[in-house]
Chains A and B, each alone.
Chain A
């Protein structure tokens, strides 16, 4: 089974610039998540999609962050404009259903804002 694919792996931008991340979930996983993981901390949910609809975006800083999942498969997360505190690893995950859901993370995109 192919894993969750993310790109790019690394990105360095200046503050106030914009950046976009891409995620391709595991085939057949209807639920897709974007998490932000600041160094030394656990992942924090930014947004959750069920197919191409948003289930939870309560922790997404909507003044600068946006995300979409067109056609219920791939997803993009955008930051515009970036701030220094956005430096983190952005993880995409997808989930199967069932009693013990398989919640699989991608390797993440490490963003450094300078």
Chain B
């Protein structure tokens, strides 16, 4: 059973566009929602993360929008650049504020291509 559903599977935008990637979850125990960026041959790298106590978080050109009632969250990439071309994964975890950390449930990934 897929704990986190991600869409679209692939996305092509022009340079300067704003790609949006969406994720949905069912488990209300999830309280930590990171986004990861993965380049070919590399492990996923943390981009930005959010907790349910806020509806939006911005870091540079990356913004997470979070809708707790709809159990959905999305990644927006402002002024997208060809260097942003990568696979993006959303994830969810119920690690709370513990120091042990719980497993992350990953979405299936979105392959983003930014055309110069």
Contacts and interface: CB of A to CB of B under 8 A. Distances in A.
A107 B109 contact: no
A75 interface: no
Interface size on A, as a range, is: 20 to 34
Contacts, number: 67
Contacts of B95: 101
A19 B33 CA distance: 34
Contacts of B98: 97
Contacts of B109: 40-42
Contact of A42 (B32, B46, B100, B108): B108
Q: Do most interface residues of chain B lie in helix, strand or loop, or is the interface mixed? A: loop
A40 B87 CA distance: 9
A4 interface: yes
Contacts of B102: 48, 56
Contacts of B43: 4, 91, 93, 105-108
